[in-house]
Amino acid sequence: MRSSYFVATTGAIREYRLWSHLAARDLRVRYSQTQLGPWWSAVAQGALICGIAVAVALIAQDPVRDYLPRIAVSLLVWTFVSNVLLESIELFTVERGLLLNTRIGELSLVIRVVWRQVLLSLYNLPVVVICVLVGGITPSPRLLLLPLALLVTGTGLVLPSLVIACLTLVRRDFAQMIPSIVQLLFFVSPVMWQTPSTGRLNLLSDINPIAWTLEAIRGLVLPDSAQSSAQLRWLGLIGALMLCTVLISPITRSVRLRV
Amino acid sequence: MSVLHLNCVTVFRPVPGSKGSGNSDSKTSVIDSVTLTIDQGERVGILGRNGAGKTTLLRVLAGIFTPSIGSAAVDVDTATLLDTGFGIEPWLSGRENAISRLILTGVPRAQHVEILQDLEAFLELGPYFNQPTRTYSTGMLARLVFGLATVREHSVLIVDEGFGTVDDQFQRSAWRRLNTIIGARTTVVMASHNLDQLREHCTRGIVLSRGKVAIDADINAAIESYSS
| Chain A hits for B108, Cβ within 8 Å | none
Provide the pLDDT confidence category of residue A228 given band limits of 50, 70 and 90: low
What are the tens digits of pLDDT across the range A203-220? 888 888 888 888 888 888
Would an 8 Å CB–CB cutoff place A199 in contact with chain B?
A: no
pLDDT score for B166:
58
Query: What pLDDT shows up at residue A120?
Result: 96
Nearest-10 crossing angle of helices A68-87, A209-221: 140
Per-residue pLDDT band at A1 (split at 50, 70, 90): very low
Q: Does the pLDDT value for residue B148 go beyond 50?
A: yes
The yes-or-no verdict on residue B183 having pLDDT over 90 is: no
The per-residue pLDDT for range A88-137, each reduced to its tens digit, is 999 999 999 889 988 889 999 999 999 999 999 999 999 999 999 898 88
Q: Which of B66, B83, B148, B157 to mutate to test the interface with A (most CBs of A within 10 A)?
A: B66
Interchain proximity A2–B66, CB inside 8 Å: yes
**Among A188-192, A216-220, A237-241, B95-99, the range of highest mean pLDDT:** B95-99
Residue among A18, A99, A253 minimizing CB distance to B104: A18
Is residue A102 packed enough to be buried (19+ CB in 10 Å), middle (13-18) or exposed (0-12)?
buried
Sheet order of strands, B43-47 included: B78-81, B156-160, B187-191, B43-47, B204-209, B212-218
Edge-to-edge strands of the sheet including B2-15?
A: B26-39, B2-15, B69-73
Q: What is the DSSP string of B99-134?
A: HHHHHHTT--GGGHHHHHHHHHHHH--GGGGGSBGG
Could you tell me if B65 lies within 8 Å of chain A, comparing CB atoms?
A: yes
Residue pLDDT, tens place only, B53-85? 999 999 999 999 999 999 999 987 888 888 766
- Give the orientation angle of helix A106-134 with respect to helix A39-60, to 10 degrees: 50
Contact between chains at A257 and B14 (C-beta distance less than 8 A): yes
Compare CB distances from B89 to A21, A29, A100 and report the shortest one's residue: A29
Are B12 and A257 in contact (CB < 8 Å)? yes
Tens digit of pLDDT for each residue in A70-99? 999 999 999 999 999 999 999 999 999 889
Model pLDDT for residues B83-119, shown as the tens digit of each residue: 766 778 899 999 999 999 888 878 888 989 999 998 8
Q: Give which of B30, B19, B23, B12 is closest to A172, Cα–Cα.
A: B19
pLDDT of the residue at B205: 96
DSSP assignments along B20-44, one per residue: TT----EEEEEEEEEEEEEETT-EE
> Rounded to an integer, what distance in angstroms lies between the CA atom of residue A252 and that of residue A146?
32
User: Which is more confident, A243 or B221?
Assistant: B221
B contact test, residue of A102, A174, A256 with most B CBs within 10 A: A102
Interface size A-B, in CB pairs within 8 Å, comes to 64
